[in-house]
């Protein structure tokens, strides 16, 4: 007996061919959306929020673009997720992974139209991915000599502070040893301290006045108010004395420091910095080797930070505080300059990607040449596998090879070059033994990647290859999409 109605009235279901088509089209649409941002000459997208202020973001970072989209199509959401995972895991290759997955789906659509079963396609894709990975492993180069020297084997990017200052151009950006805190030194404070002992704290230093809204005090005369204020002042003086007893010459607080305690610190020759943002003081405590304190009764249990010199510097029109010779030798600050906040935000995103790749290279020093070279190496090996594989799987393996070649094709197209001509030349070059050719988008021709010094981290390329294949497999397996009926208010009772 047939079931007349299985789902609620507003639930929808799509089966078989329609479901598969909806999934494939969703995946391809997301890939087409970020395709133009791929490569060194990729275009930017403007993302405008609908919230208050209508914030505008200008970016060509795949993960940032996809994170900002509210997508309905369930298959498209899978591609957004792999982009996020790629960003979290290796920090780069977020656009490549989505574009490759989209191209695999485009090739799969043609194979499905030729009546090849999804499981056959998936089996072919798996064989091709394994073959492509092995091809990369054989051609991988070791780059141990010139990995990130400053980090000395550490992948802790917290030691690298990034400060954005509008003004000037991106060319004015620079790397500075030590730590820069975006704060000014107060009035009457010492402007320069050598061999600093730093106490980093998160404590209230604003209790020298009666908090009108915090407590209700009834008094019979103004002299009583003066007594209360004097008691508050005495309490604050005792707290300052406890802090001074730590033998410090620099006090940095997360919260406000009122005039009275600031005056006491100045009299004692101690530099007091207030309202240092939380991210700033956490990083400062990390790089100076101190700990954030909030009570000061046991000076021996508080770990102080140390640095050789604290001084005030100017960047553009702003004054900042520079800590040099910090305990954590690899700490440094990158100061970004740019025409506007949008330019600075995009520069920071690009820098974050670069730092992530460098820190991954410290862990895994294997690198590959860039400029479409890895894709051509993989495509050549996958093509050879297709020739010796019997049956319908060979069509899927061949399709995988075509999908790989689209990456250098898109890089060339985005640079305004003749992609068909360049990729054909590149394929011919790669049939020569020991080829190191790739697309040089600056000169608009085929170049030697070793001479040009263009390389990519092996870990990034491997993650792109495996994640894109797995995402394409998952979407190909779909044969039914069920959308639940929206929950009504009475349903929640």
Catalytic residues: 61, 94-95, 353
Alpha-carbon torsion, ordered 217, 218, 220, 225, to 10 deg = 10
12, two tokens? 């929808």
Cα gap 272→262, rounded to integer Å: 7
C-alpha 164/C-alpha 157 separation (Å) is 17
Helix (H) or strand (E) holding 120, with range, is helix 118-139
Please calculate the CA angle 177-179-181 and round it to the nearest 5 degrees.
145
Single out the residue of 181, 477, 184, 208 nearest to residue 331, CA to CA. 181
Selection from 250, 240, 248 nearest residue 271 by Cα: 250
The 10 Å CB-count burial string (b at 16+, else e) for 157-166 is: eebbbbbbbb
Cα gap 256→272, rounded to integer Å? 10
Q: Are 14 and 22 in contact (CB under 8 A)?
A: yes
Task: Give the Cα separation of 160 and 410 in Å (integer).
Answer: 34
CA distance 457 to 281: 33
R_g of the chain, CA atoms, integer Å: 30
The strands making up 366-369's β-sheet, listed across from edge to edge, are: 141-142, 366-369, 455-457
CA distances from 94 to 23, 106, 151 (A): 20, 19, 24
């Amino acid at each position: 007996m047939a079931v007349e109605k299985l789902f609620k009235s507003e639930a929808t279901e799509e089966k078989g061919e329609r479901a598969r088509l909806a999934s494939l089209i969703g995946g391809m649409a997301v890939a087409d959306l970020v395709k133009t941002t791929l490569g060194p000459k990729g275009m930017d997208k403007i993302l405008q929020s609908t919230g208050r202020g209508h914030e505008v973001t200008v970016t060509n970072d795949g993960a940032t673009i996809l994170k900002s989209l509210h997508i309905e199509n369930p298959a498209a959401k899978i591609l957004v997720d792999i982009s996020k995972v790629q960003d979290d895991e290796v920090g780069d290759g977020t656009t490549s992974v989505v574009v490759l997955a989209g191209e695999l789906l485009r090739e799969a659509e043609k194979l499905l139209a030729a009546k090849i079963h999804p499981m056959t396609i998936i089996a072919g894709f798996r064989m091709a991915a394994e073959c492509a990975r092995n091809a990369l492993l054989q051609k991988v180069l070791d780059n141990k000599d010139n990995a990130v020297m400053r980090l000395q084997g550490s992948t802790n990017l917290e030691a690298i502070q990034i400060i954005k200052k509008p003004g000037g151009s991106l060319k004015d950006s620079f790397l500075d040893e030590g730590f820069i805190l975006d704060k000014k030194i107060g009035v009457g404070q010492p402007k320069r301290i050598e061999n600093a002992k730093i106490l980093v704290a998160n404590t209230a230093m604003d209790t020298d006045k009666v908090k009108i809204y915090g407590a209700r005090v009834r008094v019979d005369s103004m002299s009583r108010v003066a007594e209360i204020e004097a008691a508050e002042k005495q309490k604050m003086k005792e707290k300052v004395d406890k802090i001074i007893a730590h033998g410090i010459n620099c006090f940095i607080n997360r919260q406000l420091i009122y005039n009275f305690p600031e005056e006491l610190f100045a009299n004692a020759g101690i530099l007091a910095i207030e309202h240092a943002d939380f991210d700033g003081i956490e990083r400062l405590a990390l790089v100076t080797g101190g700990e954030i304190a909030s009570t000061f009764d046991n000076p021996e249990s508080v770990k102080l930070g140390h640095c050789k010199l604290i001084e005030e510097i100017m960047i553009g029109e702003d004054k900042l505080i520079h800590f040099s010779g910090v305990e954590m030798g690899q700490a440094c600050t990158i100061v970004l300059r740019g025409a506007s906040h949008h330019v600075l935000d995009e520069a920071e995103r690009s820098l974050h990607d670069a730092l992530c790749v460098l820190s991954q290279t410290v862990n895994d020093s294997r690198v590959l040449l860039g400029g479409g070279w890895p894709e051509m190496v993989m495509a050549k090996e996958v093509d050879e596998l297709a020739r010796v594989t019997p049956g319908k799987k060979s069509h899927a393996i061949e399709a995988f090879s075509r999908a790989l070649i689209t990456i250098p094709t898109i890089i060339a197209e985005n640079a305004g070059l003749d992609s068909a001509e360049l990729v054909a030349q590149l394929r011919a070059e790669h049939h020569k033994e020991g080829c190191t050719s790739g697309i040089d988008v600056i000169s608009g021709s085929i170049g030697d990647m070793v001479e040009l010094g263009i390389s990519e981290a092996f870990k990034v390329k491997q993650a792109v290859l495996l994640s894109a294949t797995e995402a394409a497999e998952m979407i190909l397996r779909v044969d039914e999409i069920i959308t639940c009926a929206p929950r009504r208010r009475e349903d929640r009772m």
